[in-house]
Structure 1
Amino acid sequence: MPEQTTATQTPAGAPGSVVDESAGGGVPTATTTAPAPAGTPAARRKIRFRKPSAKLVVGLSLLGAIVLFALFGPLIGQFDPRDSSNPALVPPDSTYWMGTTSLGYDVFAQLAVGARTSLFVGITAGLLAVTLSILFGVVAGYVGGWTDEVLYTIIGVMLVIPGLPLAIVISTLVPGRSALLVAAILGVTGWAGSAVVLRKQAQSLRNRDYVAASRIAGERPLRIVAVEILPNLLPLLTAQFLFGVIFAILGEAGLSYLGLGPTGSISWGTILNEAQAGGALTRGAWWWFIPPGILIALVGTSLALINFSIDEVINPKLRAAPAAARSVRKAREARDEQSKEATA
């Protein structure tokens, strides 16, 4: 009697099935599930998926929390930021969540409104700095010739002049300073460093084959810069923008601490200036100056972490550096253990 075999049957030709045609005249006798080929969509999705960087997650979480505080903090605050009818120098309690100043201003309300001003100054100055760095750096690097010489001379002059002292001088000469004007001052004084980096990258990209093909096809230089070069510089532009935002927020805080910030506006820097003028440190009113300092530090930390994660994407060596360091450390530990065993 012929030997009976039991096998799991699947339809012939089904995806992922292997048909054994060695017996039975090509009738499927046994099937097995084969792994998906490397070129299938499922395999491509598995290859492309990468666990997000811890720096990126922490940075986005911190920045998102601060943005939510800026958006909804003034709405949930109990007092007006300029209401001086409250008792002076009250420490944080259930009524005044972050205490009051020497003039009776609610610190929580001032922090929430100041977050809007500080973030507005930072984002506006960052966008202006990136725009100027593109106009001078990318255009100079792609066009070359006398245009490059003229634009790079302007970049060199802006690099020689210190940014923050120049912003202090300009702010001193302008009596009435709005938040937009302070952002413009910080953006104009903080773009030169980014322009140098973008110029070098544009000089490298203009010699690529696809850029040369666009020139041969008769494309205009402006379209080549916008379509062929700028998309390849997008990660670098994002990093430069984040750096510009950090510089602008810290610069605005420094100008406001010196009394040269936006007049008539509340920002984290103006809160620090009022705390210094009101003797918050000598009076022990820690709730007056520590919260704005912490918020400025958290914004800088979050943007720096996001910037580091972008650098890891741009430079694979940075992404592989932690794993390489761990492997070197493990190799050293194994070598030390072997030497100890040999000595024993």
Structure 2
Amino acid sequence: MVVGVIVLAIFVIAAIVGPIAIPNPDALVGPSLAPPSLQFPLGTTQSGQSVLSQVIVSAQGTLIVGFAAGLIATVIGLIVGVGGAFIGGIADDVLNLITNVVLVIPALPLVIVISANLAAKGYTTSIIVIAVTSWAGGARVLRGLTLSMRSRDYVAAARVSGERTWRIVVVEVLPNLLAFILSSFIFSVVFAILTQAGLAFIGLDSPSDQTWGNMLYFAQNSEALSSGAWWWFVPPGLAIALVGTALTLINLGLDSIINPKLRAAVRTRRPRKDAS
């Protein structure tokens, strides 16, 4: 988990400081397709732009889309899954039907179709499209967990004592779902980052946005692979992979801390290891 936090913190710092320290990452600063050197640590693009500068500045746009879309998708999943299951009745049936319909539609093709038919492009469009198409999986699991908690003794006791429904959900239900909520959020962020990169790579995102996906798009359009300019497309691809790995490590660490079953399993294993 510590490694994941450190790696993610590096990219977050780059996302915050990068646009300030490098106001114009598209500036022509060197020769065309110069390989990595002391002057240009990650080489240059076909137009003579610094790849390092573009990677640093593009961190902001990529992380904004990833975390914003992940947060919205998680909130929608909470409202639909937890709210519907706890309220029950027709509302739950309708929300469950909508969730099942969204689940049977492949997310990535749906995102591509929607993005291709939208005139507006940019961060906001990507965030909304990705969030609206990626909440159903989390909502389905949250609904199942909430249904099992709704009939437990402490929830029944809260109802008998006259507690309001919203307070029961906030105080009694959500804390017990915290591990899965965090896990759902993290994987939604990873999905959003990968999806945005995929949309940009196939030309369905605004080319003026500074993102790692757009870097891959321009490298592919300029035939960087066939010309051997690996330093143009490897850094943004590696950055996406590192962020995804960091978030996965953080998720595993948080799960072992929050999940009581995993904590108990770790405690029972430790004496055996010490005894040996």
TM-score, normalized by length of structure 2? 0.91
Give CA-to-partner distance per residue, 1:22-68, whole Å, 9 cap, x none: xxxxxxxxxxxxxxxxxxxxxxxxxxxxxxxxxx1111111111112
**Which has the larger helix fraction?**
2
CA distance in structure 2 between the aligned counterparts of 1:178 and 1:318, rounded to whole angstroms: 43
1:5 aligned residue: none
Shift of the alpha carbon at 1:245? 0.3
Where do 1:139-158 residues align within 5 Å? 139-158=83-102
Which aligned pairs between 1:202-221 and structure 2 lie closer than 5 A? 202-221=146-165
Q: Deviations over 1:192-221 (max 9, x none)?
A: 110111111111221223322222233332
Asked which structure has the greater RCO (Cα within 8 Å, sep 6+), the reply is: 2
Unaligned runs of 5+ in 1: 1-55, 332-344
For each residue in 1:140-165, what CA deviation from the matched residue of structure 2 results, as whole angstroms up to 9, or x when unmatched? 22112222111110000010011111
Equivalent AA in structure 2 for residue 210 of structure 1: Y
- Cα distance in 1 between the residues matched to 2:201 and 2:267: 39
* 1:1-344 → structure 2 map (5 Å cutoff): 56-77=1-22, 80-84=24-28, 86-313=30-257, 314=259, 316-317=261-262, 320=265
Residue 186 of structure 1 and its aligned partner are, at CA, apart by 0.7
Determine if contact 1:271/1:292 at 8 Å carries over to the other structure: yes
Cα shift at 1:322: 11
Taking the aligned partners of 1:226 and 1:318, their CA distance within structure 2 comes to: 24
**1:316: how far off?**
2.7
Aligned mates of 2:148, 2:25 — CA distance in 1: 52
* Larger Rg, first or second structure (1 or 2): 1
Change (3 A) 1:101 1:323: farther
Alpha-carbon deviation of 1:256? 0.7
Between the aligned partners of 1:304 and 1:105, the Cα distance in structure 2 is: 32
CA shift for structure 1 position 107? 1.0
In structure 2, relative to structure 1, the CA distance for the partners of 1:320 and 1:222 (3 Å cut) is: closer
Q: Distance in 2 between matches of 1:236 and 1:93?
A: 45
How many residue pairs align between the two structures? 274
How far is 1:263 from its partner? 4.0
Deviates more, 1:172-181 or 1:240-249: 172-181
Q: Deviations over 1:214-257 (max 9, x none)?
A: 22233332232223211221222111100100000011111111
Preserved CA contact (<8 Å) 2:81 2:141: yes
Cα distance in structure 1, aligned partners of 2:242 and 2:260:
25
More moved, 136-145 vs 308-317? 308-317
CA deviation digits over 1:58-82, x for unaligned, max 9? 11111111112222234444x7212
Instruction: Give 2:9's aligned amino acid.
Output: G
- For 1:114 and 1:234, the matched residues in 2 are separated by 31
Please state how far the C-alpha of 1:324 moved relative to its aligned partner: 5.6
**What displacement does 1:185 show?**
0.7
Distance in 2 between residues matched to 1:103 and 1:223, nearest whole Å: 58
Structure 2, unmatched stretches of 5+, are none
The alpha-carbon distance between structure 1 residues 117 and 322, as it changes in their structure 2 partners (threshold 3 A), is farther
Report the TM-score, using the length of structure 1 for normalisation: 0.74
SS at match of 2:225: helix
Change (3 A) 1:231 1:317: closer
Structure 1 segments, 4+ long, off by >4 Å, are: 321-325
Structure 1 residue 136 displacement after superposition: 0.6
* Residues in 2 aligned to 1:168 and 1:278: alpha-carbon distance in whole angstroms: 23
The whole-number CA distance in structure 2 between the counterparts of 1:319 and 1:294 is 36
Q: Residue deviations 1:241-298, cap 9 Å, x none?
A: 0010000001111111111123420100000011011111111111100101111000
Identical residues among aligned pairs (%): 44
Is this contact kept in 1: 2:14–2:57, CA < 8 A? no
Q: CA deviation at 1:323?
A: 8.0
Superposed CA RMSD: 2.4
